[in-house]
Amino acid sequence: MAEANALHHDYETLLREAGVRITKQRQVILKIVASAQDHPDAMEIYKRASALDASVSLPTVYRTMKTLEENGAIHRHTFEGGPSRFEHADSEHHDHLIDIDTGAVIEFTSQKIEALQREIAKELGYDIVHHRLEIYGKKRR
């Protein structure tokens, strides 16, 4: 909870510095985004926020998320076949496994994958600057 409060404060500060007014509706949106443990899309953020404050509008969600993204506070992911989803930019590097039946996004880290990527880049004469790994799968039955 303390981490979500600190993140909320950071997001609010960032919006103020970007010249965005901190309205009651934006406070609710920031609370939802800061406390999200999943990868919500704009519609999910809107649903969660409007459950707390019916005056929250979808355009305000979109504008708020765009400003947070433009200022590096959140990452936007567009997983194949779905809407853009968001996650905190301050999280440590991880990769994603996307369940194509449910849309669930599972975060994972693998030192084997990281080492293999570095090895391949080195063999090809490169240093990795940034990478993103998305694996799409179906749950075994």
Q: In this structure, what CATH number is given to the domain that contains residue 10?
A: 1.10.10.10
Q: What's the total number of domains in the chain?
A: 2
Domain housing 78: 2-88
End-of-domain residue from the set 68, 88, 108: 88
**pLDDT recorded at residue 88:** 78
Is pTM beyond 0.75? Reply is no
Please, which residues have CB within 8 angstroms of residue 78's CB and are 6 or more apart in sequence? 84, 85
d(CA 34, CA 40): 11
Q: What is the DSSP string of 5-25?
A: HHHHHHHHHHHHHTT----HH
**pLDDT recorded at residue 90:** 72
Diameter of the chain measured on Cα atoms? 56
Q: In this structure, what CATH number is given to the domain that contains residue 117?
A: 3.30.1490.190
Question: Is pLDDT above 80 for 57?
Answer: yes
Residues 63 and 6 in one domain: yes
**pLDDT recorded at residue 2:** 64
